[in-house]
Structure 1
Amino acid sequence: MIADRKNDHVRLAVEQHRPGGGNEFDDVTFIHHALAGIDREDVSLTTRFAGVEWNTPLYINAMTGGSTKTGDINRDLAIAARETGVAIASGSMSAYLKDPASAPTFRVLRDENPDGFVMANINANASVAHARQAVDLLAADALQIHLNTVQEIVMPEGDRSFAAWGPRIEEIVASVGVPVFVKEVGFGLSRETVLCLRKLGVTVADVGGRGGTNFARIENSRRAGGDYAHVGDWGQSTPACLLDASDVGLPLFGSGGVRHPLDVVRGLALGASAVGVAGTFLKTVLDGGPDALIAQITAWLDQIKSIMTVLGARTPADLSRCEVRIRGELRDFCADRGIDVHRFARPFPTVP
């Protein structure tokens, strides 16, 4: 039954993918300074956060695993990660923790990518022993813990008990022996949640905002009556979450609704140390295999570097000093949350 659910998730996620759609990333625009550009050869994509260094600020976010079909997808994703040098996260390893026979569908991420940065992935109900088991299977460099209360409530066979999640995360952080990254699955992390995660000792908060794959709608499609349609728009967008938690003091990742290289640069400008992509890359790898995804990621990295050149940003961290304008519903969100959008309209120091 778990394998069938994992296959359903892939099918329904791809059905949701509609290139060209809008989201709140479109409410973030850069003020163009025509003399701010620098030499492209001076631009580096290296990003650093919490003592970790990645060659690029782009990563392949958690997707799948647990069935023969999804194991094949993970193999192709791992090959693309290996060839492009981007970090990669496993999909939820709950299937493996319940049925060790599914281990190869996850282990392939390390087998095909022996020297890459690989993140294991569990939910917040997992025990410390399970967390260590997941990390050991992938020889993982970090552990992702995903938060997905909305998905679980809509999922017919989902969890219904969440009160222990905070203490469990703190216990895992203290015991697992690798950095712990906590992510939402598409409903966003509020400032208050990120503050809690900082107190729990988490290394990175991946805000995982609304705008990309929608697991409330996916799980509702699996319900006989489809009676949870009213929660299909639950949560905050990725840009909203980044703005909301920009001053918390915990490294942030931005994922959810990232459609193209400009969205990556926007996320970095709003304070993310790295930006993750799942749905867009899943569609590419299903349509064209690892070669198509390698070509796409390579092109994205080239374009990210080009946009940074125009903006005068030598590093991803420099993008957080570029002048941006916040408009539309995103600006309304900032007003409601008491976020001063004018502090993001700061002339970059290199502008003459």
Structure 2
Amino acid sequence: MDDATARRKADHLRVALDEDVGHIGITTGLERLRLNARALPGRALDEVSTAVTAFGRELAAPLLVSCMTGGTSEAGRVNVALATAAQRHHVAVGLGSGRILLEGGDAGSFAVREVAPDVPLLANLGAVQLAEVGVDGCVELVDRTGADVLVLHLNPVQEAVQPGGDTDFGGVAERIAEVVAGVGVPVVAKEVGFGLAPADVAELLAAGVAGIDVAGAGGTNWATVEGHRDDRAGRVASAFAGWGWSTVESLRAAVAARTAGRPLTVIASGGLADGVDAVKCLALGADLAGFGRRLLPAAAEGPEPAAEALGVLVDQLRIATWAVGTESVTELHPSVLREVE
């Protein structure tokens, strides 16, 4: 195992918890959307269904605890807290990059299947690392984590800012297609917080991915995170404070690319603030809404605070679905939204 990788993971967790690492000059776009509030929702709140099916499993709500951390002892405690919360509320949960596990690092920080046996578990690896680990490494990662899904994340700007980052993105789409064909579980492609261009979505669909997590700009800026770790990286990162495609732009691109004959799970993430934002994304066509750093402070305190924070999001989502006059999250539609200046 590379000690530098372990230190970097510990730094990422510390910076994400303690520093201001949001985008500057670009927002999610969700603030320009309003839900059409109804004073006569037409039914009792407890009649509203938030249940969905994702990755072959029934979920109590269309939420994903997004891939965040791993590889250090503190990350292990955070992952257990997040996974425990996900199991409590029966929603999907993702792990941080498993590269360090494949390098012989702290496998314990990824061992959460025991506390989350009944929900979709998403393993995670940087797509640029496929040149090193190949399909076999992906199979190993899925097997060792007990994951139902493999997430391949795309982070070119983060890698370019990070000292010693991997910046050879040649052939990445082709390698993703190889993994899709050989890993044996659904593959989701995601950005890490700069969003996906329509051209990216088209290439990923051509590669055969089962899902797209748009991870739009407006939330955590991973170039800024790297900038907090190194002075020169910080100077480089400053030019990318407003980089990327907003969450709404990326989500609309992914939804538009989905066709009736090509099943595709679309995950909306990137700076979602609450359950109302989640409902806006579901109304735009997302299948799941992902929350990352929003849950991190509570998870750092332990399983109970994490479960409470996630429960608040679930309650917000249910109330907003009801208060626009909709019976189920599966019936949410753009007609419940309006754009404002």
Q: Same fold (TM over 0.5)?
A: yes
Q: Are 1:105 and 2:118 matched, yes or no?
A: no
**Map 1:277-288 → 2, pairs under 5 A:** 277-286=291-300, 288=301
Query: Matched residue of 2:85: which SS?
Result: helix
Offset at 1:284?
1.6
Equivalent residue number for residue 256 of structure 2: 247
Q: Are 1:179 and 2:183 matched, yes or no?
A: no
Taking the aligned partners of 1:79 and 1:52, their CA distance within structure 2 comes to: 17
Equivalent residue number for residue 350 of structure 1: none
Equivalent residue number for residue 337 of structure 1: none
Q: 1:37/1:241 Cα in 2 relative to 1: closer, same or farther (>3 Å)? A: farther
Offset at 1:187?
0.3
Contact 1:48/1:273 (<8 A) preserved:
no
Equivalent residue number for residue 209 of structure 1: 216
Taking the aligned partners of 2:13 and 2:216, their CA distance within structure 1 comes to: 19
Query: Matched residue of 2:185: which SS?
Result: coil
Q: Are 1:292 and 2:305 matched, yes or no?
A: yes
**Map 1:1-352 → 2, pairs under 5 A:** 1-16=4-19, 23-48=28-53, 53-99=58-104, 101-107=105-111, 109-124=112-127, 125-126=129-130, 127-225=134-232, 226-228=234-236, 229-249=238-258, 250-286=264-300, 288-328=301-341
Offset at 1:246?
2.5
Offset at 1:152?
0.5
Offset at 1:18?
8.7
TM-score normalised by L of structure 2: 0.89
Q: 1:261/1:270 Cα in 2 relative to 1: closer, same or farther (>3 Å)? A: same
Equivalent residue number for residue 344 of structure 1: none
Taking the aligned partners of 1:104 and 1:236, their CA distance within structure 2 comes to: 35
Taking the aligned partners of 2:118 and 2:136, their CA distance within structure 1 comes to: 25
Query: Matched residue of 1:211: which SS?
Result: coil
Taking the aligned partners of 1:194 and 1:317, their CA distance within structure 2 comes to: 23
Contact 2:21/2:220 (<8 A) preserved:
no
Query: Matched residue of 2:152: which SS?
Result: strand
Q: 1:34/1:296 Cα in 2 relative to 1: closer, same or farther (>3 Å)? A: same
Query: Matched residue of 2:153: which SS?
Result: strand
Taking the aligned partners of 2:257 and 2:272, their CA distance within structure 1 comes to: 23
Which amino acid letter does the alignment assign opposite residue 102 of structure 1? D
Taking the aligned partners of 1:2 and 1:164, their CA distance within structure 2 comes to: 24
Offset at 1:320?
2.1
Taking the aligned partners of 1:267 and 1:17, their CA distance within structure 2 comes to: 25
Query: Matched residue of 2:268: which SS?
Result: strand
TM-score normalised by L of structure 1: 0.87
Segments of 5+ residues of structure 1 without an aligned counterpart are 329-352
How many residues end up aligned between the 2 structures? 324
Offset at 1:223?
2.5
Offset at 1:157?
1.8
Equivalent residue number for residue 261 of structure 2: none
Segments of 5+ residues of structure 2 without an aligned counterpart are 259-263
Deviations 1:99-133 (A, max 9, x none): 2x4111112x2132223211110111221011101
Offset at 1:88?
0.4
Deviations 1:27-86 (A, max 9, x none): 111233444543323321122357554321011000101011111211211211222211
Which amino acid letter does the alignment assign opposite residue 239 of structure 1? V
Taking the aligned partners of 2:199 and 2:231, their CA distance within structure 1 comes to: 35
